[in-house]
Amino acid sequence: MLGIVLGLCSALTWGVAGLVGTRATRLLGTNRSMAWSTITGLLVVLVPAIITGPRSLPSTSTLLWLATGAVGSMFGLWTMMLAYRHGALSVVAPIIACQGAVIAVVDVILGNPLSTTTGVLLVLATVGAAIVVRGTRTIEGPRETTPVAVVASVASAVCFGVGLYAAAVAAYEVGPFFPSLVTRVLGLVVISMPMLLIVRTGTGPPGALRWALLGGTLDVGGMLFFVGSAQVGDVSVAGVLASQSAAVSTVLGLIVLRERLTSGQRLGFAMIIASVTALAAGV
């Protein structure tokens, strides 16, 4: 039960982060938003990671898992922000949520069996995502989701799926906070420092920076809930539960950003939510 609760907390946290991230990227741009979000996440997780982290050098396999998790999560974050900037939240969020299906597939590839029912549900989620990618509407008129947003959403789902699975495995030896710290350090070196030192990025329009700072905090929280869910339960179940963030993001997009889905897109969205819910329930 605790694993399910933590997984749903992850979904809620990441769902709100989706709305916040959309606002941040549209005000600051993808790279600048990513830079400030990474710095915030690093500050949030630094002390807990040092306190609960490993006291000696982790094993070689754990180091590889940490590296895989950091690279996957970092590029997952960047492509997610790119999707948020160029696409409607209610369209890209369900696609990114297919990270739960990716986690399940990775689990199978690494030796855990996949039942026929689970395979059908994964296909259902994929088909639902394909239906959703048809553009959405705001009250002002059509808002098409560009090809860039579609590709970025798919890439984010794959990167996050691999990265989160690796982080969950590594956390068994290094603790729940340390994988997040490694991801933020990598993001700081690869994205934040070049943006701040070379490009000389600023804080954007008045009030824009707070959205990136809040987004960075929420993203760390969502990852910690996910890792905790994976540690006390099953990583595949944790993944599909966390994928329910699509429902949260889509509802927020419809309410706050005044987006509208077509009837076909509502069907696709329902297919995604139904499939990941069935997976989480162990159908």
With bands split at pLDDT 50, 70 and 90, how would you rate the model's confidence at 139? very low
More confident site: 10 or 114: 10
Q: What is the pLDDT of residue 244?
A: 72
pLDDT recorded at residue 239: 75
Per-residue pLDDT, averaged over 226-234, amounts to 82
Q: Residue 80 in contact with residue 13, Cβ under 8 Å?
A: no
User: Does 141 have pLDDT greater than 50?
Assistant: no
Three-state secondary structure call for residue 77: helix
Residue 125's pLDDT is 72
- DSSP code of residue 196: I
Q: Measure Cα distances from 239 to 11, 17, 36, 102, 140 in Å.
A: 9, 17, 26, 8, 35
Over range 93-99, report the average pLDDT.
80
Q: Is the pLDDT of residue 271 over 70?
A: yes
pLDDT of residue 200 exceeding 60, the answer is no
Query: What distance lies between CA 4 and its chain's CA centroid?
Result: 18
The stretch 156-167 carries a mean pLDDT of 91
Phi-psi map region of 113: left, alpha, beta (phi>0 left; psi -120 to 50 alpha): beta
Q: pTM for this structure?
A: 0.76
Beta strand 259-260 with 141-143 is unpaired
Contact 76, 202 (CB under 8 A): no
Higher pLDDT, 51 or 259: 51
Return the minimum-mean-pLDDT range out of 34-38, 43-47, 279-283. 279-283
Residue-level pLDDT at 162 = 93
% helix, strand, coil for the chain, step of 5 = 80, 5, 20
Mean pLDDT value across residues 129-145: 54
| Whole-Å CA distances, 225 to 48, 151, 267 | 14, 27, 29
Per-residue pLDDT for 119 more than 60?
A: yes
Contact 7, 229 (CB under 8 A): yes
- Residue 260's pLDDT is 66
CA distance 218 to 101: 22
Mean pLDDT of 161-175: 89
**pLDDT confidence of 48, banded at 50, 70, 90?**
confident
CA distance 171 to 9: 18
